[in-house]
Chains A and B, each alone.
Chain A
Amino acid sequence: MTDPKHALGHAHADLMGVAFESFDKEREEITLRFHAPDSFITPRGSVQGGLVAGFLDEVMGWAHVWATDQAEAPLNLEISMSLLRPVRAGPLVGKGRVVRRGRKVIFLEGELFDETGTLLARSTSTAIPTPRPTGEN
């Protein structure tokens, strides 16, 4: 298994301040920490709704990567999300789970919390499993 911190170190992951927290193999559930940057903020003073999907995609994707021992990554076909509360700049916790992992299609879900554990947003995704891309573009 590669160093998880290194494995998370792509451009978009740096932007969102991603850090690995834990992975529950039995539940195929990953916990990541984020730091929402100031550049994501709208005139409302919270993270732009669309960009919230960036965090959710990240937790859902890494749940799949870890569930396959870093061999595969999801190629998203669809993401649906509900935005329950405003997401502020600063620390966040994300949880991603594999709901069903087939050979051709996988189903993922994700949740985003503030530091006190309040649920801010949730998502589901349908994706195609692909070999994990390694290129640093």
Chain B
Amino acid sequence: MARIYERRRSPSSELMGSEFVSFDAEKGELTCRYTPPPSFASPRGAVQGGLIAGFLDEVMGGALLAVTEARFGAAEQRLPLNLDMNLTFLRMVPMETITAKGRVVKVGKRVAFLEGELLDREDNVLARATSSAIPTPVPGVND
């Protein structure tokens, strides 16, 4: 059950058009692409601010999966149960494919600290997030 962060794994990641790009084990950084569904549009014609957190949570969660697998083995993969999330909105997130990077700042037994950002085609930072979470085993992964 290796590398599940490389494929779509839930209704929520399906909804957000999640695509794996790369994983840098040394930096503990996962890069993905997302395509916002039309239903994420706000009256401003961009992604609704709150829903932007959906992409960031997805890429931060994937980063924790990838890092825990790389460091501790497939049996010790962990998924974050978020306690809090802080979001900064630097630019509007357009209704087009965006790049997301998620990193594990620190992962211990009881708490993980994660961060993420969204980038447009010109590599402008659109939004950033930090999260503290409880690392838990991946639900339903025993095969």
Contacts and interface: CB of A to CB of B under 8 A. Distances in A.
Contact of A81 (B54, B58, B84): B84
Residue with the highest number of chain A CB atoms closer than 10 Å, among B15, B55, B58, B86: B15
Contacts of A56: 50
Question: Chain A interface secondary structure, helix, strand, loop or mixed?
Answer: mixed
A83 interface: yes
A5 B17 CA distance: 29
Given A49-B82, A50-B57, A41 B10 contact: yes
A42 interface: yes
Interface residues of B, number: 43
Given A11-B41, A12-B42, A53-B51, A45 B139 contact: yes
Given A44-B139, A77-B89, A137-B95, A12 B55 contact: no
A10 B43 contact: yes
B89 A78 contact: yes
A48 B10 contact: yes
Given A51-B12, A56-B50, A81 B40 contact: no
Contacts of A44: 79, 81, 139
Interface stretch (A24-32, A98-106, A128-136): A128-136
A80 interface: yes
Contacts, number: 139
Contacts of A58: 48, 50
Interface string B65-83: 0000000000000011111
Interface size class of A (residues with CB under 8 A): 35 or more
Interface string A100-117: 000000000000000000
Given A39-B15, A40-B11, A79 B87 contact: yes
B85 interface: yes
Contact of A55 (B9, B40, B50): B50
Contact of A50 (B41, B54, B81): B54
Interface in A23-79: 38-45, 47-58, 61, 73, 75-79
Interface in B17-53: 38-45, 48-53
Contacts of B84: 80-83
Contacts of A73: 43
B50 A79 contact: yes
Contacts of A52: 53
A12 B41 contact: yes
Nearest to A38: B11
B85 A40 contact: no
Given A77-B89, A78-B86, A83-B84, A39 B48 contact: no
A79 B88 CA distance: 7
